[in-house]
Amino acid sequence: MSKTTITVGLGSCGIAAGAAKTFEQLELIKRADNLQFDLKKTSCVGMCFREPLMEIIDETGTYLYGDVDINRADEIIEKHIKNYSPVKEYLVLCDTMDTPDKVFLEGQVKIALRNCGKIDPERIDEYEAQGGYKALQKIAGNGLLPEQVVSLISASGLRGRGGGGFLTGTKWNFARNTVAKQKYVICNADEGDPGAFMDRSILEGDPHAVLEGMIICGYAIGASQGYIYCRAEYPLAIKRLNIAIQQAREKGYLGKNLWGIEGFNFDIFIKEGAGAFVCGEETALIASIEGQRGMPRRRPPFPAVSGLWQSPTIINNVETLVNLPWIITQGPEKFAAFGTEKSKGTKVFALTGKIRNGGLVEVPMGITIREIVNKQGGGIIGNKKFKAVQLGGPSGGCIPEHLADTKIDFDSVNATGAIMGSGGMVVMDEGTCVVDLARFFLEFTQKESCGKCTFCRIGTKRMLEILTRITEGNGHENDLEMLEELALNIKDGSLCGLGQTAPNPVLTTLKYFRSEYEAHIRDKRCPALSCKKLLTYTINLENCTGCTACYRGCPANAISGAKREKHSIIQENCIKCGICFTKCKFKAIVIS
């Protein structure tokens, strides 16, 4: 076997960046030059800002290269593999030398993401080599009873990572103590906020960990069937899940009388969803699996007592489930050692927005938002001012910079008006208009409303109309009071979590950035210079050279002035398209 291994990250993010072409190029080079190295594939490494990623492990160390297109691949093979000289300028991480990007991993604790970017997700033997399915063996080998497994999960303090943060062990107990002929376990892999990128990456990168978590849950509550509810828009995740399920069946991890326990039968099936955001809500998800329209129902009874086909059903999201094998093998105390008093363990975030380093990060609970933005995120792009983060996805809330020292735990985040959600963290700089941001997220939730509740169906539409009017410069003095009244009624009058949380972006931006709303309404001005219809374009005569680039580019004949003469903008003709600003090479166009 070769002493050198080359691994390429082939998650959806890597493939979108060109990693598949890089992998093909490496195959061609290996064959053409008869090179002796093992070529492997893995999934998302987490450093999405440097995709495509290629790792070389040889007898001198481990080298992770970033932005590896086919040209770089050729160069790295020539210098590193053939001439034993690593290409330092392309290195992202290295265990033998310092690299600027190493700060991205500093402070991270990989539990949920422990195997992502390390193993080939389509090979069960690689999962087993990393300790996979050892949790099941420990349960069987030690003769742990179902109630003892539940006690271990309770002792860890694990709370659901799907948004609500309910104690997992407590939830399991409801189902375990309910007498029924049939019980079910469902993996909710259909949450539609930016945090769903995290779910998809785990499904693509470590599918067996999801299966093992579901089997543990099935044993603990006495279930015999599991369903993975995954949106059909994740074809790579579904492909790798199907491979993993087949492999698990062949190895005896799924089937009848598992681990020699008479009567414990458990199998897993995939249900492909149509991508409806509302199906992230438990009862709507259940309705979809049953073949009905994905709409929520009133609770109680809760799914743990009466769920899929009126049977006790535990629904956990992807991140919750992949924590379970680690807790069983490493012990609940080790998991509980991370985090705060009421929020144990780690949390995965899909970090995006106006930061240098976007990707997946897994950090201990208790770390502050500011630490994540400045350390893992690398700070704000272009040295602009950090303004806020949108935490929890479209139904989350906007947390301003002055609250950026808020700790990442369920209670602290909820106190700001935001929610943890499934882990979306969108970072904003001073150029982000929070009014338009609230409009953007509300537009999404309004479209995703199933329409069952009047407040959600019509109330969000009225709120969206008001926000649109404000961003277009047609806001009224009473609009803010109307937004608040509608938001509170929608929260109180909606049946499910979608409607109850849809107003969060509006309420939090009103709470922390009310002056920006007032500027839009009273002054017809966007302080962030973002809302197109509220911008004013003028010409700084000192910088104008009369080159006519703006004049020739303007589609509305809104610029006057002859060649080599100072120009001016005819405001009543200006359509605020911004072409003049992009055409001017002398910084003579001023936006206000």
- Triad 214, 216, 221: Cα angle to 5°: 95
Q: 130 and 217: one domain? A: yes
Looking up residue 583, the CATH number of its domain turns out to be 3.30.70.20
Q: 253 and 320: one domain? A: yes
Q: Note the pLDDT of residue 1.
A: 44
The answer to whether residue 74 sits within a structural domain is yes
Which tens digit of pLDDT belongs to each residue from 101-143? 999 998 999 999 999 999 999 999 999 999 999 999 999 999 9
DSSP calls for 187-205: EEE---STTHHHHHHHHHH
Looking up residue 403, the CATH number of its domain turns out to be 3.10.20.600
Query: Residue 546's domain spans which residues?
Result: 536-591
- The two three-digit tokens of residue 241, written as one number: 């899940």
Q: 407 and 380: one domain? A: yes
- Exposure b/e, 509-530, CB count within 10 A at least 16 = b: bbebbeebbebbbeeebbbbeb
The answer to whether residue 256 sits within a structural domain is yes
Q: 352 and 295: one domain? A: no
Q: Note the pLDDT of residue 194.
A: 47
Nearest to 565 by CA among 534, 544, 582: 544
Cis peptide upstream of residue 394 (ω within 30 degrees of 0): no
The answer to whether residue 117 sits within a structural domain is no
Rounded CA separation 322/127 (Å): 13
Do 42 and 205 meet the contact criterion of CB atoms below 8 Å apart? yes
Q: 143 and 231: one domain? A: yes
The answer to whether residue 341 sits within a structural domain is no
Q: Is 105 left (phi over 0), alpha (psi -120 to 50) or beta?
A: alpha
Which amino acid would we find at residue 358?
Answer: G
Domain count, the chain: 5
**Residues of the chain below pLDDT 70:** 1-2, 191-196
Rounded CA separation 14/23 (Å): 11
- The two three-digit tokens of residue 542, written as one number: 């000192």
Q: 573 and 554: one domain? A: yes
Q: Note the pLDDT of residue 253.
A: 95
- The two three-digit tokens of residue 62, written as one number: 């481990």
Which tens digit of pLDDT belongs to each residue from 73-103? 999 999 999 999 999 999 999 988 889 899 9
Q: What is the pTM of this model?
A: 0.92
DSSP SS3 for 363: strand
The answer to whether residue 110 sits within a structural domain is no
Where is the domain boundary, 375, 405, 429?
429
Q: 76 and 207: one domain? A: no
- The two three-digit tokens of residue 496, written as one number: 């499910």
Q: Note the pLDDT of residue 276.
A: 83
Which amino acid would we find at residue 399?
Answer: I
Measuring CA to CA, how many Å separate 508 from each of 399, 410, 412, 445, 525? 7, 17, 15, 16, 21
Do 457 and 449 meet the contact criterion of CB atoms below 8 Å apart? yes
Q: 412 and 453: one domain? A: no
Contacts of 413 (CB under 8 A, 6+ apart): 391, 392, 399, 406, 419, 420
Q: 307 and 330: one domain? A: yes
Q: 424 and 443: one domain? A: no
